[in-house]
Amino acid sequence: MKKKIRNWSQYNRALVQRGNINIWLSESAISKWQNTEKHGGRGRSNYYSDLAIETCLTLRAVFHLPLRALEGFVNSLLTMMDTSLQSPGYSCLCKRSKTLDVQYRNSAGKGFIDIVVDSTGLKVYGNGEWHTRKHRATKRRTWRKLHLAVDATSHDIVGAELSMVNVSDGD
């Protein structure tokens, strides 16, 4: 620690406040929660807007929730906000998540990025491995190499490739 803490009561209150979650939707988001547009094709139009589905899926990614727990979490948030809105059901979220492209993180987009490339060996397990251990038979072990390209500043995986063991990092 760089500084000694002298105001312990204020420090403790700050630690407790870290667990406080306040999430509010703007009036424009509430007004756009339900879909009002017709798609023009066969079947019923979507009841919930893309904004509502993206909001729910973003909350799911932030809090690492399964879809059913996400439905309950969003319903509790909407109840705390004293709105008459309901959360999309877990099956609706599952179906619509396949068609929406939710951007969780802003991509750098402009300029150059530094990429770090490395590889590691992965052992392949299968029926042959069990047979080799049980009967102590001699058999060649199977390996694969996983090559990763990582952005040096954001630590995002930019590319990944799985190859045979005889491929080098340079290739």
Check whether 107 has a pLDDT greater than 60: no
Tokens of 92: 């609706």
Choose among 92, 12, 111: nearest CA to 45.
92
At 84-104, the pLDDT tens digits run: 999 999 999 999 988 888 776
Assess whether pLDDT exceeds 80 at residue 21.
no
Query: Considering the chain, what percentage of its residues have pLDDT values greater than 70?
Result: 85
User: pLDDT tens digit string along 22-36?
Assistant: 788 888 888 999 888
Of the listed ranges 16-25, 45-54, 92-101, the one predicted with least confidence: 16-25
Could you tell me which residue, 166 or 88, shows the higher pLDDT? 88
Higher confidence at residue 2 or residue 69?
A: 69
pLDDT above 70 (res 159): yes
**pLDDT value of position 88:** 93
Give the whole-number percent of the chain exceeding pLDDT 90. 17
In the predicted model, is pLDDT for residue 68 greater than 90?
yes
